[in-house]
């Protein structure tokens, strides 16, 4: 078992909004181990992107702030790191692929130019010729056919799948220790998704980097992740190695998710088991557990005190009073 390269401890991130301050993530903790793929899964609005942006220290300013907690990268807490230091880490050590591929690429510059700029940023002494060679090699590595001619194309001239590959290339240019990928396959068709998942696993093996893979699809988690964090309404519901989570889910939310998805092998037209109701708004969170209104096993105590994240086995933590 590798040691942790990134430890998030009791992180609280909030936004000042017109209708008051909301805590988008509230006291979350998890670890990313060396050379591993950690999945963060949960429904829209549960705080996945905010978690990623907090780690990158790229929260929208001035509304978004890290209120408290630590983000230990190796042995440094990066929450309070001065901007220049953080800039350096972002460039060289931790890279991110953002959720919207079109906004992440500049539409008026050719792909080769955008990639070249990244190389220039990280390796200012690298000669032009070498930058070009490295760019082509990288595009090749992320599976872009005919990379030399792709260098001259604009982002809108290539398909969604190819754009995602270019973004992966850009994120990899600096040879980061950690890659954070925020829903990199959500907008893609399944056959293209499986190409990209395969590519990410292969790149992880080749480079030895650690990956945080954000998705709302449990199937994707099962296919590529080593560990998983299940989030619900800004909290960690459960975190564990992937096999544990799918074989023996503990949190009623995790159980509900796993039984409610239609599966190819299950009988047709049978009523799916459901999680009743909806996620509470961050503006009107209940006291106690945030899942209580939808939980089939809610008890009195769940209405008063938020459950702490409790260790129930090696590397398996659950925030639920049932345990």
Ligand X SMILES: Nc1ncnc2c1ncn2[C@@H]1O[C@H](COP(=O)(O)OP(=O)(O)O)[C@@H](O)[C@H]1O
Q: Residue numbers of the site for ligand X (CB under 6 A)?
A: 15, 17, 24, 42, 44-50, 60, 63-64, 282
Give the separation between CA 53 and CA 238, rounded to whole angstroms.
21
**Helices 111-122 and 160-172: crossing angle, nearest 10°?**
20
Residue 15 contacts which entry, Mg ion, another protein, ligand X, none (Cβ below 5-8 A, type-dependent): ligand X
Write out the two tokens for 81: 């790191």
| 3-state secondary structure (DSSP) of residue 282 | helix
Close Cβ partners of 233 (under 8 Å, ≥ 6 residues apart): 45, 46, 47, 279, 280, 282, 285, 290, 291
What is the per-residue binding string for another protein in 284-303, x denoting contact by CB under 8 A?
A: ----------x---------
Give the separation between CA 261 and CA 29, rounded to whole angstroms.
27
Place of tokens 């978004």: 64
Residue (52 or 245) nearer to Mg ion, CB: 52
Residue 286 contacts which entry, another protein, ligand X, Mg ion, none (Cβ below 5-8 A, type-dependent): none
Q: Determine if 49 is a binding residue for Mg ion (CB under 5 A).
A: yes
Among 152, 202, 273, 287, binds another protein (CB under 8 A): 273
- The secondary structure of residue 105, as a DSSP letter, is S
Q: What sign results for the dihedral spanned by CA atoms 103, 109, 110, 112?
A: negative
Residue (48 or 141) nearer to Mg ion, CB: 48
Q: How far is the CB of 39 from Mg ion (least distance, A)?
A: 14
Q: Determine if 54 is a binding residue for Mg ion (CB under 5 A).
A: no
Residue 29 contacts which entry, Mg ion, another protein, ligand X, none (Cβ below 5-8 A, type-dependent): none
Among 18, 60, 129, 190, binds another protein (CB under 8 A): 190
Q: How far is the CB of 281 from ligand X (least distance, A)?
A: 8
Q: How far is the CB of 53 from ligand X (least distance, A)?
A: 7
**Inter-residue contact 40 to 211 (CB < 8 Å):** no
Residue 323 contacts which entry, ligand X, another protein, Mg ion, none (Cβ below 5-8 A, type-dependent): none
Straight-line distance from the first to the last Cα atom of the chain, in angstroms, rounded to the nearest whole number: 25
State phi, psi for 126 to the nearest 5 degrees.
Answer: -70, 125
What is the per-residue binding string for Mg ion in 132-171, x denoting contact by CB under 5 A?
A: ----------------------------------------
Residue (45 or 91) nearer to ligand X, CB: 45
Q: How far is the CB of 22 from another protein (least distance, A)?
A: 17
Give the separation between CA 177 and CA 211, rounded to whole angstroms.
9
Give how far Cα 270 sits from Cα of 5, 106, 254, 260, 274, Å: 44, 47, 21, 11, 12
Give how far Cα 204 sits from Cα of 140, 176, 191, 225, 309, Å: 16, 11, 20, 11, 29
Q: How far is the CB of 269 from Mg ion (least distance, A)?
A: 23
Please report, as ranges, the residues that interact with another protein according to CB under 8 A. 43-44, 159, 161-162, 189-195, 197-198, 216-223, 242-243, 246-247, 256-258, 260-266, 268-269, 271-276, 278, 294
Please report, as ranges, the residues that interact with Mg ion according to CB under 5 A. 48-49
């Amino acid at each position: 078992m590798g040691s942790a390269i990134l430890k998030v401890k009791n992180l609280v991130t909030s936004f000042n909004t017109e209708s008051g301050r909301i805590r988008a993530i509230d006291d979350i903790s998890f670890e990313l181990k060396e050379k591993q793929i950690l999945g963060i899964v949960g429904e829209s609005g549960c705080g996945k992107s905010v978690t990623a942006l907090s780690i990158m220290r790229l929260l929208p300013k001035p509304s978004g702030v890290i209120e408290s907690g630590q983000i230990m990268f190796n042995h440094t807490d990066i929450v309070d790191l001065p901007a220049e230091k953080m800039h350096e880490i972002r460039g060289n050590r931790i890279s991110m692929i953002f959720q919207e591929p079109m906004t992440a690429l500049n539409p008026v510059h050719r792909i080769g130019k955008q990639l070249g700029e990244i190389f220039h940023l990280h390796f200012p002494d690298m000669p032009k010729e070498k930058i070009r060679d490295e760019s082509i090699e990288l595009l090749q590595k992320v599976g872009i056919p005919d990379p030399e001619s792709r260098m001259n194309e604009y982002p809108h001239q290539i398909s969604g799948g190819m754009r995602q590959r270019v973004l992966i290339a850009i994120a990899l240019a600096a040879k980061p220790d950690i890659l954070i990928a925020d829903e990199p396959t959500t907008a893609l068709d399944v056959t293209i998704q499986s190409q990209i998942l395969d590519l990410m696993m292969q790149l992880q093996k080749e480079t030895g980097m650690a990956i945080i893979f954000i998705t709302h699809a449990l199937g994707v988690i099962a296919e590529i992740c080593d560990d998983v964090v299940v989030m619900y309404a800004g909290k960690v519901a459960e975190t564990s190695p992937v096999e544990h989570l799918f074989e023996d889910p503990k949190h009623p939310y995790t159980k509900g998710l796993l039984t409610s998805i239609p599966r190819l092998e299950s009988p047709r037209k049978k009523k799916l088991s459901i999680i009743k109701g909806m996620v509470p708004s961050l503006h009107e969170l209940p006291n106690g557990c945030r899942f209580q209104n939808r939980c089939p096993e809610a008890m009195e105590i769940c209405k008063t005190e938020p459950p702490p994240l409790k260790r129930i086995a090696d590397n398996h933590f659950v925030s639920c009073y049932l345990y």
